Chains A and B, each alone.
Chain A
């Protein structure tokens, strides 16, 4: 158990509504990541954080924003959800940048109608 909790685990929403996904860690690790996983694309990085209030964009950041006001929480927000954002979202943490090891949460399955 990597000490990562994602919420909600499942959500169905309508186009144009805002959505916030939460990632909570109990490990006090500095680096946190948000990925999306889609068939045929693998995991793609949306945003990541390297400390409180320190975030940066990943490969597919358009339409997403993040916030990290506490070490343990990393929030992903879709300001106005679109059907192309239907996906499974994974949060990940890493205890160190030198091992290649990302610990992933259980995922949040989002459907945008």
Chain B
């Protein structure tokens, strides 16, 4: 079993839809959780960063962490074609870059 699991998709939704992206993990020591967005042929860029459990909102994006279920989610409201990208979850027990474990990513297409 991989340490971080993520449905690779592709996931196709119509413009304006609410998108739910998810990751599950096995290491109960993880306490730092991140979502990165990666456009085609580009490097990933940080979208959301959360510590421990709970929700965090930033504009149209909401990150949720449920440590009891070892499950994290990223919600995108009012999705736009510009949201079409691959979304990578990442997590770590320690807040150091060398400890980050990345999921394989979910490809999202938002259709106009």
B33: nearest residue on chain A (CB-CB)?
Answer: A100
Cross-interface CB contact of A107 among B8, B42, B88, B90, cutoff 8 Å = B42
Stretch from A43-51, A63-71, A72-80 at the B interface: A43-51
- Convert A78-95 into 0s and 1s, putting 1 for each residue whose CB lies closer than 8 angstroms to a CB of B: 000000000000101010
Alpha-carbon distance between A24 and B6 when the two chains are bound, in angstroms: 32
CB proximity to A under 8 Å, residues B31-64: 32, 34, 36, 41-46, 49
> Is A56 positioned at the interface, with any CB of B under 8 Å from its CB?
yes
Q: Is the CB–CB distance between A99 and B43 below 8 Å?
A: no
Interface size of B by CB at 8 A reads 25
Cross-interface CB contact of B97 among A31, A41, A90, cutoff 8 Å = A31
Q: Is the CB–CB distance between A97 and B96 below 8 Å?
A: yes
A25 shortest CB reach to chain B, Å = 13
Give how many A-B residue pairs fall within 8 Å (CB-CB).
Answer: 63
A47: nearest residue on chain B (CB-CB)?
Answer: B98
Q: Is the CB–CB distance between A43 and B102 below 8 Å?
A: yes
Q: Is the CB–CB distance between B98 and A56 below 8 Å?
A: yes
Q: Is the CB–CB distance between B49 and A58 below 8 Å?
A: no
Query: Which of A45, A101, A102 is packed against the most chain B CB atoms within 10 Å?
Result: A102
Cross-interface CB contact of B95 among A31, A33, A44, A97, cutoff 8 Å = A97
B98: nearest residue on chain A (CB-CB)?
Answer: A48
Q: Is the CB–CB distance between A98 and B95 below 8 Å?
A: yes
> Is B4 positioned at the interface, with any CB of A under 8 Å from its CB?
yes
Residues A101 and B102 in contact in the complex (CB < 8 Å), given A33-B97, A107-B41: no
Cross-interface CB contact of A104 among B4, B43, B103, cutoff 8 Å = B43
Binding site for B on A (CB under 8 A): 4, 31, 33, 39-45, 48, 56, 58, 90, 92, 94, 97-107
Additional pairs, 7, CB under 8 Å, beyond known A33-B97, A43-B88, A48-B98 = A42-B4, A42-B88, A45-B100, A58-B98, A102-B36, A102-B44, A107-B42
